[in-house]
Amino acid sequence: MLVAERKLRRPLERALPEMVNEVGLTGAAKKLGVSKATLSYWLLKLGIEIRRVALAPGEEIEIRRISG
């Protein structure tokens, strides 16, 4: 995990959600040079959830960070 953080130059807690959203789980694992199982374990360990949402045409989704 430390090697991946150094490679990305930022905490995995911030980098992984963005990366998975952009290129998917498989793509993110390939970019990081780890297996999908390893990446899934990191996500679990860091408390990062992956949720899929189906949107109809004209619908959009908004993600807000809850501070606290």
Whole-prediction pTM: 0.79
**Does residue 68 have a pLDDT over 80?**
no
Residue 49, C-beta contacts closer than 8 angstroms, at least 6 positions apart: 43
Question: Tens of pLDDT along 2-21?
Answer: 888 998 899 999 999 999 99
Encode pLDDT of 17-50 as tens digits.
999 999 999 999 999 999 999 999 999 999 999 9
Query: For residues 23 and 15, is the Cβ–Cβ distance under 8 A?
Result: no
Angle (CA) 53 59 63, round 5°: 55
